[in-house]
Chains A and B, each alone.
Chain A
Amino acid sequence: MFVRNLIRFVFVLLTQVLVLNNINLGVNINPAFYVYFILLLPFETAGWALLLSSFLMGLGVDFFCNSLGMNAAASVFVAFCRPGIIRFLKSRREYEPGTRPTIRDLGVRWFFSYAFISIVLLHTVLFFLETFGFENADQTLIRILLSSGAAFVLVILVQFLFGRRE
């Protein structure tokens, strides 16, 4: 279990910094795909492990793109919100022991809302931290919308492509 998550950590980080950060679609579309790692951590992950691994993931991305601290802050924030989001979505369906937060185990609808909430949260924190204030809020909102959309499509795509095999 630990090894599988470690492999996912490396795969997601390298995809983000070597592939996605090099695809230039303008200022508005910068999908933070690395949130995929936080989304797919098992339900049983201890709180400290969840926070620390998310912090490291964010920091790793920061090291590669000169934004020291920004991605780390956003990613820790999402990790902090994750138990809350899971509890919020739980009201509709009970989690059995051994289930994992994937499409295969919990269905398309559950995963879509889970991914959507987390991704929008991440980009909101990230882009407001980047402008460091609320000037140009309209441009920031457009960036949040477009980037979240792109990240959402990516996460769903990867989940459909690789999620079934795991």
Chain B
Amino acid sequence: MKNLITFLWKYYFFFLFLSLEVVAVLLIVKNNYYQRTIIINSTNDVTGAILKTSDGIIEYFHLKKANQILAEENVNFRKMLPQSFLKTDTATFFRDDTLYNQQYTYLTAKVISNTTNRINNFIKLNKGKNHGIEKHMAVLAPDGIVGQVIEVSDNYASVMSVLNSHTRISAKLKSSGQVGTLIWNGENYRLGKLVDIPTHVQIQINDSVFTSGYSYMFPEGQLIGTVSDYELESGQSFYQVDVVFSCDYNNLRWVYVVRNLMQKELNLLDEAEEIF
């Protein structure tokens, strides 16, 4: 025993190095199974507070741009107001419609930290459980989709960005209606890849790509981007389509968090399917 202690003491530099590396690698491995992991750091209140202060200062430099985007959106929403329509029939607009149940509601949130230069990028929002944000909610930007909430604390939420190697989003082409899977391979933050499009489909350059709505999370028909190029994978019968994101992920400020009011119902059906 004494010898062992002497031995450990003599080479303590090496053993301390080894144990610290083991701790670090454990942290990495635990962190990589991201669905099961509580990402401590992303929702940590201390880092959250520091980033919020830093962002509060930077925010001033973006006010002009933010105002412009908000104004553009207001114009769009104004167009949709009942007042903007000419009433041709007395029974055109009802809030409590028996045909239309509201399926999605929206919350605004501000981005307080965002990366685009990693293989797995995450975004932090300034709202959390207290504001009604839950896990698995979709996040949208005014001009595109942003990602999915993976963890919430009381006042902050962590979002897995579309720019993440684990991203799988069901998307469809506007012209043909064909559904494929959107992934991101980490090479360019402006480009995503749409895979699993069968070769018999005619693909048009500059065609729009929308969410398909098959994942429940994202409302159907949200713009993702436009087709810039496509190629046949060697030895495969599927196209790989390059999609230029409509949203500039490097310049995210305000986002919308989407709540699917029917999520529970749909999940129940899914569970029933799994039994068979």
Contacts and interface: CB of A to CB of B under 8 A. Distances in A.
A binds B: yes
Interface of A: 18, 21, 24-27, 29-30, 47-48, 51-52, 55, 58, 62-70, 72-73, 76-77, 79-80, 83, 129-132, 139
Contact of B21 (A25, A68, A77): A77
A66 B47 CA distance: 11
Interface in B128-167: 158
Contact of A63 (B14, B23, B41): B41
Interface in B23-52: 23-32, 39-42, 44, 47, 51
A46 B188 CA distance: 43
Contact of A51 (B20, B25, B31, B119): B20
A26 B117 contact: yes
B20 A24 contact: no
B43 to A, nearest CB: 10
B263 interface: no
B187 interface: yes
Given A63-B44, A66-B122, 16 more contacts: A21-B115, A24-B116, A27-B188, A29-B117, A48-B13, A51-B17, A66-B39, A66-B41, A67-B31, A69-B26, A69-B29, A73-B28, A76-B17, A76-B21, A80-B13, A130-B118
B21 A48 contact: no
A75 to B, nearest CB: 9
B198 interface: no
B219 interface: no
Nearest to A79: B17
A21 B132 CA distance: 30
Interface of B: 12-14, 16-17, 20-21, 23-32, 39-42, 44, 47, 51, 54, 113, 115-120, 122, 158, 186-189, 250
A67 B118 contact: yes
B47 A24 contact: no
A132 B32 contact: yes
Contact of B41 (A55, A64, A83): A64
A27 B117 contact: yes
6 closest Cβ contacts across the A-B interface? A69-B27, A73-B24, A69-B28, A47-B13, A80-B17, A72-B24
A147 to B, nearest CB: 10
Chain A CB within 10 A, most for which of B12, B27, B187, B188: B27
A74 B47 CA distance: 21
B13 A24 contact: no
A65 B13 contact: no
27 contacts: A18-B54, A26-B189, A27-B118, A27-B189, A29-B117, A51-B13, A51-B17, A51-B20, A52-B16, A66-B41, A66-B120, A69-B23, A69-B25, A69-B29, A69-B30, A69-B31, A72-B23, A72-B24, A73-B25, A76-B17, A77-B21, A80-B13, A80-B14, A129-B28, A130-B119, A131-B119, A132-B28
A45 to B, nearest CB: 12
Nearest to A77: B21
Contacts of A25: 117
Nearest to B25: A73
A131 B26 CA distance: 16
A76 B16 CA distance: 10
A79 B118 CA distance: 24
